[in-house]
Amino acid sequence: MTDLHEWLTGRVAEAETAADTPAAARRCEADRRILDRHRLDLDDPYEPSCLGCGTYGDLESPNTDNINDCPELLDLAHAHGITDAILAGLDRPEPPPLSPVKPYNEALADALDRLRSTTPARQAPATFRPAPTRGVGIPITGALTKQRFNPWR
């Protein structure tokens, strides 16, 4: 079976082929525009949300969690004669399964292994080493450039 968007796309295509008046053709064009705007949001990896319904909040959570719950598509489907039985038989898109996550202790062990395997700065070539800062005061620009700054004097 198909989801609500695919079902509507098929119904609009049937209506376009049967359109015999300019008003029917304009109605099909309007339906196509609604379908183009309210489609599956491919940028949301967690849920099959509707792109046209927008988002809310700081985290930009989708207003419609599943494209089959989109109010615009449901209104359009009722105009094309959907019944409760057809709606119940439609597939509800599911998000792809999440990749398995390592347990915390394994992830921490991997991070520590990566840290231990890096080259310390003292063994790096001189061009990549940071400049020494011990014993060097902070120079003051202007008239007092020859003196070292000592905040405790």
Q: Does any domain span residue 8?
A: yes
Six-digit token string for 113:
């292994």
Six-digit token string for 68:
């089959």
- Write out the H or E segment, with its range, that includes residue 111: helix 104-116
pLDDT tens figures, 51-84: 999 988 888 889 998 999 999 999 999 999 999 9
Q: Does any domain span residue 9?
A: yes
The model's confidence at residue 114, banded by pLDDT at 50, 70 and 90, is confident
Q: Does any domain span residue 79?
A: yes
CB of 5 closer than 8 Å to CB of 93: no
Q: Does any domain span residue 59?
A: yes
User: What's the predicted TM-score (pTM) here?
Assistant: 0.61
Task: Name the residue range of residue 38's domain.
Answer: 4-89
Calculate the average pLDDT of the chain: 84
CB of 63 closer than 8 Å to CB of 54: yes
CB of 9 closer than 8 Å to CB of 18: no
CA distance 89 to 71: 18
Q: Does any domain span residue 98?
A: no
Domain count, the chain: 1
Q: Does any domain span residue 130?
A: no
Mean pLDDT for 42-52 is 85
Judged by DSSP in three states, 64 sits in: coil
